[in-house]
């Protein structure tokens, strides 16, 4: 069988894979990206459901590594739509001539470290082997779709589509009876758009959402000009001063405990009008203080009840858990959708789904006949994309076995026993708690420096030391346990996937993490074994 040998193999041509390739090429290393999809874009290639949009401002959700690129690119709206981001990423691929080193429609199925040669052997669905010294998993944190196992699914006469596997040619929903299962970001974005097209939309909700209005709008040219006059400064401030949060507008510098009830309402209303992630920065301690959290949650509860006409439906739509504990959701007319006569809500906590029938969905209480079922059921986040590949390190050890009790690694970058393998925004790094663009650039640049160091110093192998890894995992748990993120069921802890070990996966706190990464390098790659 044909074998292809490279210095570096990168798995995935999303935002991380593209930038990683650009950087590896600049080092003069032979590199190959293997991508399962038919084009670049990763998340933005696959998630084509109606209403799909990023929830971070465009001015921040873009690469910062090339000044001409960031100066020239124009975004029309505050939040970019999926087609716009895909267009941008295609532009990046063309601009830097990246496609010639990307192999599309090819899925990596296995990767094994050969201890004799010190190289990774990578197997793909098309057959044949690739080999490389360095293997970089740019497989995404939120990329392995969660397709729930529901009895009778195969018997359904209509069509079932997961939001992250939406037909590329689109889907005609006009005149259709549609069911949406799931009310995370994808469901909440899709529901208002589907509601306008479908004859009848029935939403099957397992957990209600503390959703806040996105307040999307055309970008203000004066604001953009001001940012572009010092884009580097803007990026630097976002990266460290505001902690790579999902908005450049910093949180207020006070807690709810420090101000009167009247002042709290004023501040919350002001932030509600700003829309988007800045809302969650009304107080500086929403993720650690029960008081600030409750004040914020009570405010949103009142808003939901003010928006939704039917008080029983409003009650069903109101969460009973800490706000910002599940990954925050932004919407454009989500709660308003339930005032439409063609939209109804089914609460799965009280009436769970029992089966999918040929005609639709059966709950413990009723049968709902539909033409299309939309699974907005999310992803096996953070570990799913990695563990779906048969990855074997030293001694044939399977990553799946190593992580049987939850992901263990060092800095979210390397796993002991898996030499020369790097994970971009892996569990144990800030990743999904930050603006992903910022987290990705920081990881790609760290890995680039590391590989450059190895090549320049004739080191063959870099591998996380077991004791550094144990300490790191304990550190991530300690930081997470001090927050309210562990106070509800959320996918940060794998709660959405039956049987997944309950471990908090991302690391809160971007600036201290970056400091730690820099310190590790300054101390000669402390915590790694080089040989």
Q: Are 388 and 144 in contact (CB under 8 A)?
A: yes
- Cα dihedral: 334, 338, 340, 346 (round 10): 130
Q: Whole-angstrom distance between the N-terminal and C-terminal Cα of the chain?
A: 31
Choose between 186 and 469: whose C-beta lies nearer to ligand NA7: 186
Least Å distance between CB 492 and ligand NA7?
9
Q: Are 150 and 182 in contact (CB under 8 A)?
A: no
**How many other CB atoms are found less than 10 A from the CB of residue 292?**
24
Choose between 176 and 327: whose C-beta lies nearer to ligand NA7: 327
Q: Distance between CA 351 and CA 354 in Å, rounded?
A: 9
Choose between 407 and 506: whose C-beta lies nearer to ligand NA7: 506
Choose between 195 and 256: whose C-beta lies nearer to ligand NA7: 195
Give Cα 24 to chain centroid, integer Å.
24
Choose between 417 and 508: whose C-beta lies nearer to ligand NA7: 508
Least Å distance between CB 247 and ligand NA7?
14
Least Å distance between CB 516 and ligand NA7?
24
Choose between 153 and 461: whose C-beta lies nearer to ligand NA7: 153
Least Å distance between CB 263 and ligand NA7?
31
Residues contacting residue 379 through CB under 8 Å, at least 6 positions apart: 142, 143, 144, 145, 146, 164, 491
Choose between 21 and 424: whose C-beta lies nearer to ligand NA7: 424
Least Å distance between CB 379 and ligand NA7?
6
> 484-504: string of b/e by CB count within 10 Å (b at 16+)?
bbbebebbbbbebbeebeebb
Choose between 50 and 184: whose C-beta lies nearer to ligand NA7: 184
DSSP 8-state symbol, 414 = B
Least Å distance between CB 190 and ligand NA7?
9
Q: Three-state SS for 506?
A: coil
Choose between 207 and 292: whose C-beta lies nearer to ligand NA7: 207
Choose between 206 and 516: whose C-beta lies nearer to ligand NA7: 206
Closest CA relative to residue 494, chosen from 388, 385, 379, 409: 379
Least Å distance between CB 150 and ligand NA7?
7
Q: Which residue is nearest to ligand NA7 (CB)?
A: 184
Q: Are 5 and 27 in contact (CB under 8 A)?
A: no
- Please report, as ranges, the residues that interact with ligand NA7 according to CB under 6 A: 142, 146, 148, 163, 181-187, 206-207, 326-327, 348, 376-379, 491, 496
Choose between 6 and 491: whose C-beta lies nearer to ligand NA7: 491
Least Å distance between CB 148 and ligand NA7?
3
Provide the greatest CA pair distance for the chain.
73
Least Å distance between CB 165 and ligand NA7?
11
Least Å distance between CB 239 and ligand NA7?
19
Distances (CA, A) of 443 to 89, 161, 430, 513, 530: 19, 33, 10, 11, 19
Indicate the angle between helix axes 82-95 and 15-26, nearest 10 degrees.
10
Backbone angles phi, psi at 321, to 5 degrees: -115, 170
Indicate the angle between helix axes 290-307 and 261-274, nearest 10 degrees.
60
Choose between 33 and 505: whose C-beta lies nearer to ligand NA7: 505
Distances (CA, A) of 140 to 11, 24, 488: 10, 19, 24
Least Å distance between CB 463 and ligand NA7?
31
Q: Distance between CA 292 and CA 284 in Å, rounded?
A: 8
Choose between 281 and 328: whose C-beta lies nearer to ligand NA7: 328
Least Å distance between CB 378 and ligand NA7?
2
Report H helices in 371-435: 384-387, 399-402
**How many other CB atoms are found less than 10 A from the CB of residue 38?**
9
Choose between 22 and 491: whose C-beta lies nearer to ligand NA7: 491
Report H helices in 110-252: 185-197, 221-229, 231-236
Least Å distance between CB 209 and ligand NA7?
7
Least Å distance between CB 96 and ligand NA7?
26
Residues contacting residue 158 through CB under 8 Å, at least 6 positions apart: 360, 370, 371, 372, 373
Q: Distance between CA 86 and CA 45 in Å, rounded?
A: 6
């Amino acid at each position: 069988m044909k074998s292809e040998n490279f210095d570096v193999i990168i798995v995935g041509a999303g935002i991380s894979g593209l930038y990683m390739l650009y950087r590896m090429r600049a080092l003069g290393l032979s590199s190959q990206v293997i991508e399962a999809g038919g084009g670049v874009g990763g998340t933005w290639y696959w998630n084509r459901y109606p209403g799909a949009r990023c929830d971070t401002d465009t001015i921040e959700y873009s690469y910062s590594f090339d000044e001409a690129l960031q100066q020239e690119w124009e975004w029309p709206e505050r939040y970019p739509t999926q087609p716009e981001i895909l267009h941008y990423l295609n532009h990046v691929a063309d601009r830097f001539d990246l496609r010639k080193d990307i192999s599309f429609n090819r899925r990596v199925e296995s990767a094994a470290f050969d201890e004799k040669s010190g190289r990774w052997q990578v197997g793909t669905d098309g057959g044949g082997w690739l080999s490389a010294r360095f293997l970089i998993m740019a497989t995404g944190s939120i990329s392995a779709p969660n397709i729930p196992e529901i009895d009778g699914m195969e018997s359904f006469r209509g069509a079932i589509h997961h939001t992250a596997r939406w037909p590329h040619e689109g889907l005609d929903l006009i005149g259709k009876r549609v069911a949406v299962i799931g009310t995370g970001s994808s469901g909440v974005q899709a529901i208002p758009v589907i509601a306008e097209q479908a004859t009848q939309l029935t939403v099957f909700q397992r957990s209600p959402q503390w959703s806040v209005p996105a307040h999307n709008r055309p970008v203000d040219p004066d604001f953009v000009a001001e940012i572009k006059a010092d884009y580097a400064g803007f990026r630097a401030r976002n990266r460290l001063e505001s902690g790579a949060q999902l908005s450049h507008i910093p949180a207020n510098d006070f807690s709810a405990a420090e101000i009167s009830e009247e002042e709290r309402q004023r501040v919350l209303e002001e932030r509600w009008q700003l829309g988007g992630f800045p809302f969650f920065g009304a107080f500086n301690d929403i993720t650690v203080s029960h008081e600030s959290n409750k004040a914020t949650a009570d405010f949103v509860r009142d808003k939901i009840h003010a928006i939704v006409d039917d008080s029983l439906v409003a009650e069903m739509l109101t969460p009973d858990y800490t706000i910002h504990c599940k990954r925050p959701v932004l919407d454009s007319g989500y709660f308003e959708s339930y005032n439409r006569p063609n939209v109804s809500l089914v609460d799965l906590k009280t009436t769970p789904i029992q089966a999918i029938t040929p005609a639709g969905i059966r709950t413990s209480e009723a049968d709902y006949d539909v033409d299309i079922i939309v699974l907005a059921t999310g992803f096996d986040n953070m570990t799913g994309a990695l563990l779906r590949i048969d990855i074997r390190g030293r001694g044939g050890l399977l990553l799946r076995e190593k992580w049987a009790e939850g992901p263990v690694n060092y800095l979210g970058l390397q796993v002991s026993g898996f030499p020369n393998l790097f994970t971009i925004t892996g569990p144990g790094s800030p990743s999904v708690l930050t603006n992903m663009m910022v987290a990705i650039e920081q990881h790609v640049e760290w890995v680039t420096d590391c590989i450059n160091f190895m090549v320049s110093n004739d080191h063959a192998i870099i591998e996380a030391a077991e004791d550094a890894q144990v300490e790191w995992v304990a550190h991530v748990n300690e930081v997470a346990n001090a927050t309210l993120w562990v106070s509800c069921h959320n996918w940060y802890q794998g709660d959405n996937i039956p049987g997944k070990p309950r471990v908090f996966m991302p690391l809160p706190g971007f600036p201290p993490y970056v400091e730690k990464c820099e310190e590790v390098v300054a101390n000669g790659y402390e915590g790694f074994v080089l040989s």
